[in-house]
Structure 1
Amino acid sequence: MRGAGFDAYDLQRALQEAGAQPSGVGLRVRKDDMTAAQHPDSIRRDILPIPDVAHVGLTTYDAKDPETSYPPIRDVRPPATAPNVVVILIDDVGFGASSAFGGPCQTPNFEKLASGGLRYNRFHTTALCSPTRQALLTGRNHHSVGMGNITEAATAAPGYTSVLPNTKAPLALALKLNGYSTAQFGKCHEVPAWQTSPAGPFTAWPTGGGGFEYFYGFIGGENNQWDPALYEGTTPIEPPKTPAEGYHLTEDLADKAINWVRQQKALLPDKPFFMYFAPGATHAPHQVPQEWIDKYKGKFAHGWDSQREITFERQKKLGVIPPDAVLTPRDPEIPAWDDMDPALKPALEREMEVYAAFMEHTDHHVGRLLDAIEPVLDDTLVYLIVGDNGASAEGTLQGAYNEMANFNGMADIETPEFLMSKLDEFGGEGSYGHYAVGWAWAMDAPYQWTKQVASHWGGTRNGTIVHWPNGIADKGGHRNQFSHVIDFAPTVLEAAGIPAPTFVNGVMQSPIEGTSMLYSFNDADAPERHETQYFEMFCNRGIYHKGWSAVTKHRTPWAMGGQEMPAFDDDVWELYDGNTDWTQAVDLSKKYPDKLHELQRLWLIEAVKHNVLPLDDRQIERFNPTLAGRPSLIKGNSQLLFGGMGRLSENSVLDIKNKSFAVTAQVEVPSSGAEGVIIAQGGRFGGWSLYTKDGCAKFHYNVLGIKSFDIEASEPIPAGAAQVRMEFDYDGGGMGRGGTLTLYYDGTEVGSGRVDQTQGVVFSADETTDVGYESGTTVSPDYTAHTSRFTGKIDWVRIDLGEDAEDADHYIEPDERFRIAMARQ
C-alpha cells in the first residue's frame, strides 16, 4: 500500500488478494490511468457520495488574523462540460406508429427533433414496460436487475424478484450525487408490488432509492388519463382539476415538468438537470379529447393489412429501413382485415382513430416541454425513445371498450353489438379502451409480432431520436448501429464526463452492462460496439450477435390465461442474417443449422450470466404471491382498516375475489342519518362499494362498467353507534361466479339479494380501495368522488375471509376484533 496514494483502486485490489471479492467484479481503473473524458477534473467521482475532504492547515485563534484562510464552501457540481439530460420514454408504441418513423400517427414535434439530431433505426427495448424502464435507469440487463417481468408477476428467482440490488445503483442517483438536479414525471412501474401501499417502504420509489429529487406521477403499469391516481413524491394527491374543466394526465405532466425545469434553471443556472419524462401515453386506456379524435375520422377504413403496406413504403422513403427491406407477412394467428365482421369494422376503425389521436396529442405536449427548454436546448442531451416495447397486442382480436374484460378472462362480455353501441364513446371518460391485435401488428411494421414477444423485432425495436446540438454535428442523420436500452446510462455518463461509480453508499457496484453510444454520434459509419444482446420475455427468446439473430416465440400476447404451453425444448427456433435481412423476413435455420446451434448456445451462456434461468411460463400462478414466492403485504384471512385510509392498491388489500367474504364496519351515525361511502374498491370500470344512500346501507357490485347489481337495506341505519355488515356467500364452481349477499345492522338482517357475476382476476390497474370516501372514478353512479365522503364517523372496517367470515355470527364483539387483528400481525 502506498500511504497517501492509496485509493479505491488499491482497496479493491487488496480485497481481491484477501479473497473478499471475485476478480474482475466492479473493477475501475486508477485515476492516473483515466482519460480526460473519463476523469476531467480533480474530484474523485467513482466513490459516491463523494467523500468530504476535511480542511488541513493552520487554525487561527482570531478569524481576523491575516493568516486565517479556508477554501470557500462549494456545492458539488458535475464537470463543467456536463450537459443537461432529458430522456422521454413513450409507452406502448411500435416502430411503425409515429410519422417520425413512417407511421400514420402524426408526430410533428418528434420529426422536428429528429431533423436537428439523429434517428437510431436499430435501437431495442426488452419487449415489456417494467423491464425496459429498470434497464434504462441502471444500464444493466433487466434480469440482472431482477426485473424479468412486470412487478406484479415477481417470483423468488433472482432474475425476477422486481427488487433492484444495491450493487446496481440507478443512473439518477449517480447523477444526483455528482451534482445534477433530478426529476421524474409520469409512470413508475418499478416498485415491488408489496411496497406500493402508503406504508412503504419507499426505497424503490423515485424519490426513495431511485435518485430523483422530485417525482410527480403514478405508481403502476397504467392510469386513467382523465382521473388518475397521482403522487407527488410519496404523497397521494388528487388531480388539480376535473375532466369537465379540461383535465388530461399528459397535459398535467407536461405542465409540472415545464414548471420544474424553469424553476431549476432560474434558481440554479449553473447546475445541470436530469429529467425523466415518461407520460404513460400511449399505453391503454386510450383516452384523449374528442377534437383530436375527429382529426383521424375515416383515415383507417383501409384496415391493418393495407396500413402496413402504406407504412412500409413511407419508411423506405424516409430512410429508416433500407430500400431492399422486405415486409414481413401476417402470422396466421392474426386475422386478416378482410376476414373481420363488416358490422364490427366501424368500431375497429374508431379504436385506431383514438390511438392515433392519443399519439398526436402526446407529441403535442412533448413539443411544449421541448419548447420550454429551448433556451438551453443546445446544451441538452435529449433521448426520445418512441416506445418502451412494441405496440400492445393485449386488446383482444376485436379490441376492447374496457380492457379489464380481457384481463379477467371475460372478453366475450363485450359483444360486437356492445362495441358498436359505444362507438361515439371510445376515448372518452366512460371508456377504458384498447385497439385490436391487428392494429398493434400494423403499428409494428415492417416487423413480425408485438409487445411481449422479445424474440422478434416487432416486440423490441423502437425508433429513437437523439438530439444534442453541442455534441452532435450531423443534423437529420440516421444511425444504423445496433443499440439497446441499457446503452443509455453509459452514454449519459460518458457525455457528462462522470465515471461509472465503484462504490455507492459503501456498496461495491457491479459493472454497467450497456455500451455507450457516444462513439456513433458523429460517425455514421463507425463499427457497432454493442455486438451481443440476449432477449427474453414470457419465455419468448432471442439472441443477437454480430448481425445474426436466433429467435423462438413461446407464448402469444393476447392469450391471457389457460394457454397450454409447449415444452421449452419443443419451441421452434428461427435464424436470420441481419447483414442482408433487415426485417427478419427470411428464416435460414434449415440452411445454416450449425450457425443456429452456435447462437442457441450463446443465448444459454448469456441467460446464465444474467439470471434469466430458470425459464418460467406459469401464468395465473405468477400472480399468486404464495406460489410465486414473493412477499405479500397482507397475511391471513382478516384485515383491519380505519376511517380515512385510502389509495390502497389491490395488492394492499385482502383479495375477496372468487370466494365468500364479509365486511364489517363500526360507525357512528348522526341523528339526521348518514350518507356516503363506508368502503369502496375499484372504480367506474369494475369494483364494489358498501355505502349509504338516504340513510340506508347499500351494496353495489360493478362488473366492468357493463353490468351492475344492487342490494339495499330495508331501513336506515339507526342513529348512534352501529355495526354495518355485509356477507357474500360465493356460489363456487369456478372464477367470476355469483353469490348471495346479505346486509346486517348490529347482527340483524336488513336486506339480501343476488350478485349474478363477479370479476375473477382484477378490478382495476389504477383504481384503489378507500375507507370513508372514494377517490378516482366511482364504483356506483349514486355518488361522485366529491360527494362520496361519509357524513358520520367510521371507527374501523374489517374484511374477513373463510372461517373468520363465518365465525363472526353477523356481529363482531370488540374483544374479538382486536384478538384477530393482533393474531394477524
Structure 2
Amino acid sequence: MAVTEPNRPTGQRPGEASREATIGTTYRDSTPSWPPVPTSAGRPNVVFLVLDDIGFSSLGSYGSEIATPTMDELAARGVQFTNFHATALCSPTRACLLTGRNHHAVGMAYLSHVDDGYPGYRGRVGHDCATLAEMLVAGGYNTMAVGKWHLAPMDQTTAAGPYDQWPLGRGFERYYGFMEALTDHYYPELYHDNHQTTAPRTPEDGYHLTADLVDKSCEFLRDQTSIAPEKPFFLYLAFGATHTPFQAPAEFVERYRGAYDEGWDVIRERRYRRQLETGVIPPGTALPPRNDDVRPWDELTADERRLAARFQEVYAGFLEHTDAQIGRLLSYLDELGRLDDTIVVLLGDNGASQEGGEHGVLNTTHYENGRLPSLAENLARIEEIDGRTTHVNYPLGWAQAANTPLRRYKQNTHAGGIRTSMIMSLPNRMGAGERRSGFQHVTDIVPTVLDLIGIEAPRTYRGVPQRALDGVSMRAVLDDASAATSERTQYFETDGHRAIWRDGWKAVAWHRRGADFDTDRWELYHAAEDFSEAEDLAAAMPGKLRELVDTWWREARRNNVLPLDDRGFAERANANFRPHSPKDRHRFVYLDGVQHIPTAAAPPVAGRSVQISARIVRPDRSADGVLIAHGSVNSGYCLMVEDGRLVYDYNYYGDHKILRSSVPVPLGASEVAVRFIKDTDSSAGTATLLIGGNEAGHLRLDETFEHFVAFQGLDIGGDRLSPVRADADGPFDFSGRLEQVVVDLLDPATGRPYEPRD
C-alpha cells in the first residue's frame, strides 16, 4: 500500500458530496441525508512503543549484551536512528512526542505533579496544542492509549477529576494503564478509560503489569479489527519498563546470574567496541572518562561488587521480559494481518536514571526524600532485590554503562540524558535495515507521521487556535539516507540544566541545584564531529560559545522556559498547590467506600504533625481490619484494628515501627486515632494512640519521611494494593462499620487542628 494518499476535508467520504435532506410530508416524498463522517480508510495504522529510562546503549541493536531480539528485528526491518534526542525527563518527552511541540511551549517543563504558576510549568498540555490522537480521531482513526500516561496533573487523577487531561480527554477513545510516574508491576494502580480498576489476576497467579498491558492492547486491537476493519488505528503503548521499580519474572532474571560480575567498566568498554564495530557510533568516537560520580569497578569491595551486579541482573531480566511482550504484540498484529500496514515507532523517553545513587536503592522513596541508603542497608536485603518486596533502581555505574558512550544521565542535558534509541518501521519497508545519523528531535515524530499518512495538523481544534508544530518531518531522510537535514536549532532545559544544539554545534551547562545560574559553566562541543561530547572547545572558541548561549536565551524566551526553576521534585510538588487542588486544605474527610486516592491527591503528611481519626462500630470481637493505609510494601503508614487492639504501623523504608494500643478497642461505636507530633528541629517525633479521646500508647519515631511518603496512594477501609503493613496477607478490609476517616494536619505552633478557613 502507499503510505500517503491525498488529504480530504475532515468529515467527507471519498467521492461523496455533502447534501441536505429534503423533508416532505412522509418518508415517501422525502430524501434522507446523513452528516458526513471522517474517514481515513486506506491509510496506515500507527503504533508508538515507549520505553522508560532505557539509556542509549541498552538494546542489542545499540550495542548491548542484553537479549532484545524483537526490538533488534524491528530495527532490521525499519530505520534505526543514532542521533535522536528527547528531553531529559518523562512527562516533558511524552508531551513533545504526542504534540510535536516543545515541552515548555505546551506547559510541561517538568513533571505533571508540579504547577509552578508560570505558563511553561503548568504540568499539563494546553488545549492550544492538540495531541496526535486528537488530530487522528478527527481524521477517522480509532485511538487507544495503554500504559503510562503521566501527562495529567497528578492531583486531578481522582474520581473527582477534572478529566480533560486524562487520555480520553486528549483524543484517545480507549485507555488502560497507570497515571503516575511509576507503579508496582505486581500491584499496579490501574485505570480503565475514565475510572479506576484492579488487576485481573494476582501475582500468585502469574500477574505482571507489562504482560497485562500487552494483553489489553491486543484486546483493543481485536475489538477494533472485528468491528471496524476498514478504519486505521493509533495505538500508544507506554511501558513502565525500564523505569524503577525493576521487577521481572524470576526466570528472566535467572538468565543473567553472573553475567555482570565483571562490572560496569568492562561492560561499558565492551558496548563501546560493539557500537564502533557495528556502526552505531561514528569511527573515531572517543569513550569519555567515567562520570565524576562513578567509582572504578576494581576499587569496589567484594560486597559492593556482589550487590551492584545483582541490580544489573534484575534490570537486564526486566528489559528482556519487556522485549518478549513487545514480540507478542507484534505477532498478534501480524496474525490480524495488520502489521504490514502499520507505522511502528519505538523510542526511549530519556537517558538512564541516576536516581539509584552510589549503591542503588531498594525503595524509590529514598531518592525523593534525599536519603540514599548505605551499603550495609542494601546488603542486609540483597536477596530481596529481585523479589516483590522492593522497588529497586541500580547504582550510577550501571546507568553510565546504559548510556554508553555518552556522558551523564536522565535529568541532565548532556547527551547521556537526552540522546535516546529510536526505531521507525514503515509499511513499505522504506529504508529497511538502514541507519540515520542526522540530528532528530522527539518533536519531529508527529509531523513525520502526519506527512506519511497525509493528514495536516489543524490550525484550530474544537474552536481553539493551535500553536504551530515545532518539529520537522523526517520523511526526506527516511526516503534517502544522504538527504541533508535542514538547518536546525533546538534548545533543551530540565531542572536547571541547559543546552542548545545548532547546526552541528552544542553548548551545554550542568547545573548544581541551589547555585546561582550565572555561575554555571557552559561547555562547547562540535557535535557533528564529536558524537560523545568528549572534547570541550569552550576555552578555544569563546565567540562560538557566546553565539550559542545567546541563542539559548532567545529560544528560552520564545518557548516559555523562563523563569528557571531548579527546586527538587518534593519541594516543588509541595510548594504551591494548584487552585482547587484536593491537597490544598488542612482537613481531609473520607467516607467508607471512597475510591483509591492517588498519592498526589492524598494528605501531605510528610514532614509535619498530623492526627488521623476514625469513627467506627465494632459489632463483635471479630470486627478487625485496616482503617487507612497509604503507601506500599516499601514505605507508608497504616492504622488498623488487629486482634481487637488499635495498631499503628509506620513503614519506614521497609523497617516497620509498630505501636499497639495498651487497651482493646471497645465493642459498639467509638472514635480511634493516632496523633503524631513532630519535633521542631528534625523529622523525629512521637506517635500517640487515642481510643475515645484517651491515650492508649506512645511510640518514639527517630526518623520519619521528610518530603514524600510513597508513590502508591491511599486506601480507606483496607490495604488493597502492594501492602503497607508488616506480614500482610490480603487487603484486610475492616469488617465492622467504618463511618469516616479524618486526617488533620496540625498547626506546629499549637499541635492542634487548624481553625477552619473562611
- Establish whether TM, by shorter chain, passes 0.5: yes
Question: Partners in 1 of 2:21 and 2:611 — Cα distance?
Answer: 72
**Contact 1:38-1:499 at 8 Å conserved across structures:** no
2:52 pairs, out of 76, 81, 91, with 91
2:497 pairs, out of 540, 563, 586, with 540
What letter matches 1:436 in structure 2? P
- State the 1:354 CA deviation: 0.7
Partner SS for 1:199: coil
- State the 1:301 CA deviation: 1.6
2:690 pairs, out of 733, 739, 744, with 744
- State the 1:72 CA deviation: 6.0
What letter matches 1:440 in structure 2? A
Q: Which residue of 1 aligns with 2:151?
A: 190
Question: Partners in 2 of 1:666 and 1:617 — Cα distance?
Answer: 43
Q: Which residue of 1 aligns with 2:743?
A: 799
Is 1:445 equivalent to 2:429 in the alignment? no
**Contact 1:661-1:805 at 8 Å conserved across structures:** no
Change (3 A) 1:317 1:663: same
- State the 1:416 CA deviation: 2.3
What letter matches 1:233 in structure 2? D
Partner SS for 1:207: helix
- State the 1:672 CA deviation: 3.4
Q: Which residue of 2 aligns with 1:574?
A: 523
Alignment length, in residue pairs? 753
- State the 1:629 CA deviation: 6.8
Partner SS for 2:166: coil
Is 1:205 equivalent to 2:188 in the alignment? no
Question: Partners in 2 of 1:631 and 1:568 — Cα distance?
Answer: 33
Partner SS for 1:151: coil
Q: Deviations over 1:334-374 (max 9, x none)?
A: 22212222221111001111111111111110111111111
Q: Which residue of 1 aligns with 2:448?
A: 491
Question: Partners in 2 of 1:154 and 1:480 — Cα distance?
Answer: 36
Once structures 1 and 2 are overlaid, which stretch shifts more, 646-655 or 288-297? 646-655
What letter matches 2:739 in structure 1? D
Question: Partners in 1 of 2:388 and 2:573 — Cα distance?
Answer: 32
1:103 pairs, out of 64, 71, 95, with 64
Partner SS for 1:728: strand
**Contact 2:293-2:396 at 8 Å conserved across structures:** no
2:298 pairs, out of 338, 341, 344, with 338
Question: Partners in 1 of 2:611 and 2:144 — Cα distance?
Answer: 43
Question: Partners in 2 of 1:378 and 1:687 — Cα distance?
Answer: 48
**Contact 2:42-2:230 at 8 Å conserved across structures:** no
Partner SS for 1:173: helix
Question: Partners in 1 of 2:600 and 2:529 — Cα distance?
Answer: 48
Q: Deviations over 1:237-292 (max 9, x none)?
A: 11111111111110110111011112211111000000001011000011111111
**Contact 2:630-2:710 at 8 Å conserved across structures:** no
Q: Which residue of 2 aligns with 1:18?
A: none
Q: Deviations over 1:62-105 (max 9, x none)?
A: 4335xx54456664212x44210000000001111111111122
1:720 pairs, out of 660, 668, 683, with 668
Is 1:64 equivalent to 2:28 in the alignment? yes
Q: Which residue of 2 aligns with 1:463?
A: 421
Partner SS for 1:770: strand
- State the 1:808 CA deviation: 7.0
Change (3 A) 1:276 1:57: closer
**Contact 1:773-1:785 at 8 Å conserved across structures:** no
- State the 1:127 CA deviation: 0.9
**Contact 1:662-1:805 at 8 Å conserved across structures:** no
**Contact 1:393-1:450 at 8 Å conserved across structures:** yes
Give percent identity, aligned residues only.
37
**Contact 1:638-1:824 at 8 Å conserved across structures:** no
Once structures 1 and 2 are overlaid, which stretch shifts more, 798-807 or 501-510? 798-807
Q: Which residue of 2 aligns with 1:40?
A: 6
Partner SS for 2:71: helix
Q: Which residue of 2 aligns with 1:381?
A: 343
TM-score (norm 1): 0.87
Q: Which residue of 2 aligns with 1:3?
A: none
Question: Partners in 2 of 1:211 and 1:795 — Cα distance?
Answer: 39
Once structures 1 and 2 are overlaid, which stretch shifts more, 312-321 or 122-131? 312-321
- State the 1:782 CA deviation: 5.0
Change (3 A) 1:53 1:798: farther
Q: Deviations over 1:507-549 (max 9, x none)?
A: 1111111111122212001111361111111111111111111
Is 1:527 equivalent to 2:484 in the alignment? yes
Is 1:397 equivalent to 2:358 in the alignment? yes
What letter matches 1:763 in structure 2? V
TM-score (norm 2): 0.95
Question: Partners in 2 of 1:371 and 1:37 — Cα distance?
Answer: 22
Q: Which residue of 2 aligns with 1:13?
A: none
Structure whose alpha-carbon radius of gyration is higher: 1
Question: Partners in 2 of 1:510 and 1:37 — Cα distance?
Answer: 26
2:134 pairs, out of 153, 164, 173, with 173
1:156 pairs, out of 113, 117, 125, with 117
- State the 1:155 CA deviation: 0.5
Question: Partners in 1 of 2:246 and 2:415 — Cα distance?
Answer: 24
Change (3 A) 1:796 1:625: same
What letter matches 1:638 in structure 2? R
**Contact 1:391-1:450 at 8 Å conserved across structures:** yes
1:231 pairs, out of 183, 191, 195, with 191
Q: Which residue of 2 aligns with 1:4?
A: none
Once structures 1 and 2 are overlaid, which stretch shifts more, 672-681 or 372-381? 672-681
**Contact 1:145-1:162 at 8 Å conserved across structures:** no
Q: Which residue of 1 aligns with 2:710?
A: 764
Q: Which residue of 2 aligns with 1:615?
A: 564
Question: Partners in 1 of 2:653 and 2:751 — Cα distance?
Answer: 32
Q: Which residue of 2 aligns with 1:516?
A: 473
2:285 pairs, out of 308, 317, 325, with 325
Q: Which residue of 2 aligns with 1:222?
A: 182
Question: Partners in 1 of 2:67 and 2:644 — Cα distance?
Answer: 53
2:330 pairs, out of 367, 370, 374, with 370
Q: Deviations over 1:298-320 (max 9, x none)?
A: 11122112211100111122221
1:667 pairs, out of 616, 624, 640, with 616
- State the 1:58 CA deviation: 4.5
Change (3 A) 1:791 1:622: same
Q: Deviations over 1:450-506 (max 9, x none)?
A: 11111x111111111110132x43320111121111111111111121111011111
Change (3 A) 1:630 1:159: farther
Question: Partners in 1 of 2:369 and 2:516 — Cα distance?
Answer: 26
Once structures 1 and 2 are overlaid, which stretch shifts more, 711-720 or 795-804? 795-804
What letter matches 1:716 in structure 2? P
**Contact 1:621-1:627 at 8 Å conserved across structures:** no
Change (3 A) 1:589 1:631: farther
Q: Which runs of 5+ in 2 are unaligned?
A: none
**Contact 2:21-2:33 at 8 Å conserved across structures:** no
2:537 pairs, out of 588, 601, 626, with 588
Is 1:431 equivalent to 2:378 in the alignment? no
Partner SS for 2:326: helix
Q: Deviations over 1:725-772 (max 9, x none)?
A: 2222222312x32x222222222223333233212121212x111111
Partner SS for 2:705: coil
Once structures 1 and 2 are overlaid, which stretch shifts more, 648-657 or 788-797? 648-657
Q: Which residue of 2 aligns with 1:133?
A: 94
**Contact 1:104-1:356 at 8 Å conserved across structures:** no
1:779 pairs, out of 700, 719, 724, with 724
Question: Partners in 2 of 1:621 and 1:116 — Cα distance?
Answer: 43
Question: Partners in 2 of 1:695 and 1:225 — Cα distance?
Answer: 33
Q: Which residue of 2 aligns with 1:8?
A: none
Question: Partners in 1 of 2:223 and 2:518 — Cα distance?
Answer: 57
1:755 pairs, out of 692, 701, 725, with 701
What letter matches 1:506 in structure 2? G
Question: Partners in 2 of 1:783 and 1:566 — Cα distance?
Answer: 45
**Contact 1:45-1:178 at 8 Å conserved across structures:** yes
